Structures are given as C-alpha cells and as structure tokens.
Structure 1
Amino acid sequence: MKKPKVLIVDDNPAVLDGLKIILELENFDVVSLCTNAKEAIEFLENRHVDVVLMDIRMPVMDGIEGTFNIKTKFPNVKVIILTTFCEKDYIEKSLSFGADGYILKSSDAKHIVNSILSVLDGKVVMDKEIALYVSDVLKRTSKQLFEKTQNLSERELEIAKLISQGYSNKEIARMLFISEGTVRNYITSILQKLNLKNRTQIAVYYLTKFS
C-alpha cells in the first residue's frame, strides 16, 4: 500500500520532530518539515504531497495565509490546521479558505493519525469544541444563511447532514444508492444555493443549523 505523503509545517522544532516520529511509526511518508507556510508552498511547487499539517502562528507566512495559497494553487492537497489556538478569527478564516480540518495540538496521537486518514478519504475533520465554537459564531453573525435552507431539496439536506457526520462521497453514494458523480452534483448545488465555498463549510452550516 502506498504511504500517504505528509508535509508538516510548524515553527517549533520539538513539534516537528515529535509529529515526524509519530507519523512514520504509523506508516506515513513525512516528505519534509517546514518552519513556515512560505517554505511549504515552495516545497509544493516541486513535490507531490497528500496532506499538509499546518500550524497557525509562524514567522514569514502564517498558517492562515498559507492555507489560502495552498488551496488556491494546489486544490487537491489536503490541509489540516493543527494548532493550540481556538480563536474565532483563526477558525473562521482557515475554514473559509478551504482547510479540510481543524484540530488541536492537545489531541492524542491516535486522533491526529485518524484525522489525516479521514481527510484523505474525503471527509471533513473538526474537533467538537471547534464545531460548537463556529456554530455559535455563525448563529450570531450569519442569520441570512439560515433563511436559505428552504432552497435546499430534501435530498440535498440529507447529503449535507451526512457530510457533517464525516462521511465521504463514496460512503454517501453507497448509503443513498446513487453514484459518486451524482453526490458531487448535489454538493455543487448545495454550495451554489448557500453561497458556500467548500465541503467544510457545508459541514459547519449543517451543524450550525441543526445542532
């Protein structure tokens, strides 16, 4: 089985070394260690990477700007924010820029490993406290979003729910007895109707509306 290629971005050498050891023990290929997002982008210009584990506060270029640039230039690369910070601004910006997950460094090794595997499977990963925090923020600041729910069909709501529960397109297709292409079409429709940008925002939207 091909080892998933992971790029770790953090300005703390101890964190870099620790994560590298953990992931290599779990059969991941840690292709490089970078101390800021600018280094990561330069690396991605020349090398294939499946997942980037991205810290937020770093010199030269932080993880928020880095996430935006990576998802713009390399949309197929998965980005998981791995940080100690659970602040509204960081959460909102990273998710709006297309981060595939947001987890805290207080997570144990198993959770980090499972999070990487989940995003590789097309799922959205978000620690519960992060999801609840975002939900609270959106409830206070995005009332218009809720009014758009009536535009979604029953099947679109069903798919949004499954996305929020962490299911991949393949799993959703199997559960609903439809093709993956049909699932993708529904997701495109949901994004357009709700004026959202990515799968992560669909998950946050559903958690906000129905949690």
Structure 2
Amino acid sequence: MKILFVKKPSLLREGIVQLLNQRFQESEICVSDGSGYPDDLIANELSDMIIIDLETDVPYREIIEVYKQCNKKVIIWVADKECMKLNELFTKNLDGYFYNGMEEKELMDAIQLVQKGKKYVHPALSCLLLADYVKIQQKVSKRPVGILSNREWEVLQLLSKGYNNIDIATHLYLSDKTVKNYVSAILRKLEVPDRTNAVLKALKQKWVYV
C-alpha cells in the first residue's frame, strides 16, 4: 500500500512519517508539502491512501474528489475542531477524520481501521458530526401564522407523506368525515384545487417536510 501524507514541514510531520515507516514497513510512505501540486498529488499514480492536513495550502476539495472517484482512502487532518471546513467535509463521507494531538497508538490504530475499510472519526470531532446529524434530522418547517389551524397543519404534514384520508384518520384518531372536512378547509385556505397542489405549495414554501 502507498500512503501519502500531505502536511507542511515540521518536527511533528517528521515524527509521524517515522512512525508510519516503522509501523507499516510493507507500505510505501510518501510525504508532500503541497508545493509540487498537482504532480506530487494527483497528476501521477495515485496513492492508495492520502492523509491531508487542512492547514496545508492545497486545493483539498479537488484532491478529495479525484481520490474518491478512484476509490482511494481519504483522511483529513484538522488542528482546530472549530474549523469551518468540517461541516462541509462531514458530508463527503470520508474514510477518516483525524485531530491534532492523537497519541501514537491511536493514530496507528486509526490508520489500520481505515485500511480495513472502516471509518474513523476522532472523539474530539465526533460530537460535531453528531450535532450536524441532529440538525439534518430535525427538519424544522417554517409555518406562517394565521393560515391554518394546528390540526390542519398536522393533516397537511401527513398528506405530504402520502397518507390517504383513512390513514390520517387512524393516525390522528379522527373520523374519516372529519379528515375530509380538514382537507377541504386546507384546499380553500391555500387556494389550491386539490391535495397534490396543496402539498406542492407547502413543500415549495418549506411549510412541511417529507
């Protein structure tokens, strides 16, 4: 396996490269400060695994895309857990998210996990990843005041999920007739001809979510 470590020259970098050479003796360990981009990163034969320190002055987005398209392992290394790039990079579903200050054993074990096809997120960064996941899952609708009643909003939300009148009645513990009345009121208040257009309008305005 060929491992490429992209980081500015420093004692830390030299120490890590030395560790990699000792631990992964059957692998080819390469290092770059990014100054030879793109020749030493993507123009020649790609490494099997690339570790990119985000403090290195390289177009990391382009490099990540090239490596991912070729099914190579991609790890990013951050020094600051408040790094604004993290939110974007979490969406890339990379193989590893490393953090400054990793102990020697922790670093080596993390690389081995990635080699085996598993994901690694440093504990200092995992709380940020969880926070992002919660935000995505908690899709907050932006409902205007005064258009529909609370119960009508509930009915419209269920319509957006594909529920029919009987399903809505069962879900909300209402009669079929009551649901029909709610649907009629929703169509009238939203000034649309049918439930499909009611849902389309609500989705467009971000009043409901699917």
| TM-score normalised according to structure 2 size | 0.57
* 1:43–1:67 Cα change, 3 Å: closer
2:12 aligned with 1:15, yes or no? Answer: yes
89-98 vs 41-50, which moves further: 41-50
What is the SS of the residue equivalent to 2:15?
helix
| C-alpha spacing 1:57/1:68, structure 2 compared with 1 (3 Å) | farther
| Identity level (%) | 17
**Which one of the candidate residues 37, 40, 53 is aligned to 1:39?**
37
Shift of 1:78: 0.5
Cα distance in 2 for residues equivalent to 1:86 and 1:25: 29
Measured at CA, do residues 23 and 135 of structure 1 come closer, stay the same or move farther in structure 2, by a change above 3 Å? same
Unaligned runs of 5+ in 1: 151-211
1:32 aligns to what SS in structure 2?
A: strand
How far 1:64 sits from its partner (Å)?
A: 4.4
More helix by share: 1
Among 95, 114, 120, the residue aligned to 1:119: 114
Shift of the alpha carbon at 1:48? 4.4
In the aligned structure 1, how far is the partner of 2:40 from the partner of 2:64? 13
Cα shift readout 1:117-157 (whole Å, capped 9, x = no counterpart): 11111101001231111211332354249xxxx9xxxxxxx
Residue 66 of structure 1 and its aligned partner are, at CA, apart by 3.0
Label 1:24 to 1:42 Cα distance change in 2 as closer, same or farther (>3 A): closer
Partner SS for 1:39: coil
**1:182 aligns to what?**
none
- 2:65 counterpart of 1:68: yes
- Higher alpha-carbon Rg: 2
Q: In structure 1, how many angstroms separate the alpha carbons of the residues matched to 2:23 and 2:6?
A: 18
Cα distance per residue 1:64-95 (max 9 Å; x no partner): 443234323x2x21011122121253222222
Which structure has more relative contact order (CA 8 Å, sep 6+)? It is 1
The number of residue pairs the alignment matches comes to 140
2:91 & 2:24 partners in 1: Cα distance?
31
Q: RMSD of the alignment, in Å? A: 2.8
Matched, 1:77 2:64: no
Residues 1:20 and 1:110: Cα distance change in structure 2 (over 3 Å): same
Cα distance in 2 for residues equivalent to 1:98 and 1:38 = 27
1:99 aligned to 94, 99, 107, which one?
Answer: 94
* 1:41, distance to aligned residue in structure 2 (A): 6.6
Runs (4 or more) in structure 1 with deviation over 6 Å come to none
